Amino acid sequence: MKSTLVTLIFILTTQLAWGAHQSLKFMHPAPDHTLVKVKPTGKYLILPVEENREDSRIDVLVNGEKVTTLFVRLAENNVDYSVPFDLSPYAGKGEILLSIISPVNNREHSRQATEILCWNEMSVSDSFDTSNKEKYRPTYHHTPLYGWMNDPNGMFYKDGAWHLYYQHNPYGSKWQNMTWGHSSSTDLVHWTHHPEAIRPDGLGTIFSGNSVIDHDNTAGFGAGEVITLYTSCDKSQVQSLAHSSDNGMTFTKYPGNPVIVTPNEARDPNIFRNSGINKWNLVLAGAMDHEMHIFSSPDLKEWTYESSFGKGYGAQDGVWECPDLFQLDVPGTNEKKWVLLCNLNPGGKFGGSATQYFIGEFDGKKFTSDYAPEDTLWMDFGKDHYATVTWSDAPEGRRTAIGWMSNWQYANEVPTKQFRSANTLPRDLSLFHSPEGKLLLASKPAKELADMRGEARSYGRFSVSQKGRTFRLPDGKGMEIVMDYSLNAKSDVSLTLSNANGDKVIMTIDAKDMTFTMDRTKSGEVSFSRHFPAVTVAPLSKDAPAGTIRIFIDSSSIEAFDSEGRFAMTNLVFPTQPYSTITVKGKGKGKIKKLNAYKIK
């Protein structure tokens, strides 16, 4: 009997030995535990993913020492897509072993573990196909090549390149395994993808933060070094430092990490050089306390707590995240004001995630708001504009921002799989006075976006009528629509984007209520979340019965602005096929002075 049992165990642990072209050997010592020996005969280990599975924990061991841990929804019944694990850092360094703990799913015996689909689909390869397989992948917005993306991080401009880092899951298209992905651009339109820049370590996964250029070598790593602060997240959240001498392509983590430890949950450090005090300042989000903590430092390593701002101010319903603090010129004066961006979730004006801001004074130690605590100022009036932060060292004194184009209410469920999430269009920020004299934040599409315009299709000048006029849009998924309009005090005009399947988005300018409204309740695929069908509303300035609206349409998004950026509205849409017509109609005495549709190059 004992001999039979030993033989059975030997068969169970070797029946899949050295499969997948003699690169992988599978052993199943328990129903929920699999060991995989890997011969690095190619650059990547290809891992099959099934999205509705729970995460499997994969500990990667080299010569018996654990080098990293991944969490992957390994396929059991079908493969939705695959993701690569880079083996090249471990090639030639010894035996590679994966120790995989998988959800049991009623498995009682080790032999049942051998039947899971992923063991047959796992392989070693020299390449990984990143060609687009998604109809909803944007044509001119930044996205990751594959996998999940959320907050933009660590952005800086240097030597002609805009560097964009982002929260990335390289091993699946839902949130997990937070790592800093990296892309760069010379024009804010075309993006080059680079390897992951900062990976998890013993202090935890890599959450949000930002980067600066240390022009004067205050940190001692060298003049012109790129310095990054980010949140390390494991059982708690602490702040860590890394630096780069190759323009952000690779980073060296500071051996003295963490550099800031707080008693309560805090994350997403934002650092900047403050010439007024000849020091560095740092703003840290006290997430659960609904406040921002302010620090100062002479060298980016040793930080002194100065004050906190936020309790009782603005929207307070959700956690506060991703701060940014910077100065902007006050138009018509020689003055400047400080602007504090504060991203919160939930608690947005239309549910879920959103970006609010504060305008006031800052002396290097304390921020004071010019507005009363009960005043809430929204940066964008859509549902899909979050984690918005700006580039440091932007050229020409610009303050240029970008956000995550999604909402935590449904970000993990949107109808894509190869990738999830895009960034908003880059936006240049400035201040403006409302007709009531209030100082507010304007967001205009970055000036580089004008170069995307291709051939214009002009629909001419005409009066608005209730019957309406319908025009054919340019073919393709990407376009910009520009409309000059003039309304009287009791009129309105609506623009309806539609397709042959009956999907439609209705945008309305109401001169009586002074509002711009976008209705996406019938925009296409909306059933994946009860929070997705929505009508969003932005206020218009009192001088807006005449004006210009710019509407950017991509495969899965619509962003609307007035010409001066006095309002912005960002909403995802998932039409079953691209919108092909635009219908203009309304009531009252309204005129369309210009209606052009530009195909995006």
Provide the annotated active-site residues: 151
Nearest one of 139, 141, 207 to 427, comparing CA atoms: 141
Tokens 């240097």 correspond to what residue?
A: 158
Tokens 């450090």 correspond to what residue?
A: 269
Are 203 and 256 in contact by the 8 Å Cβ rule? The answer is: no
Cα separation, 593 vs 38, whole angstroms: 66
Cα radius of gyration (the chain): 26
- List, in sequence order, every residue forming a beta bridge with 241; answer none if it has no partner: 229
Cα separation, 339 vs 32, whole angstroms: 52
Q: How many residues are given for the chain?
A: 601
Is residue 397 classed as helix, strand or coil in its secondary structure? helix
Q: Give the tokens for residue 422.
A: 């895009």
Cα separation, 156 vs 195, whole angstroms: 17
Are 405 and 569 in contact by the 8 Å Cβ rule? The answer is: no
* CB within 8 Å of 300: residues ≥ 6 apart: 214, 218, 219, 227, 229, 241, 259, 271, 280
Is residue 513 classed as helix, strand or coil in its secondary structure? coil
Cα separation, 453 vs 581, whole angstroms: 19
Cα separation, 478 vs 601, whole angstroms: 8
- Cα-Cα-Cα-Cα dihedral of 247, 253, 259, 262, to 10°? 100
Cα separation, 584 vs 549, whole angstroms: 13
Reply yes or no: is the peptide bond before residue 539 cis, omega within 30 of 0.
no
Cα separation, 469 vs 97, whole angstroms: 65
* Phi-psi label, residue 233: left if phi above 0, alpha if psi -120 to 50, beta otherwise: beta
DSSP 131: S
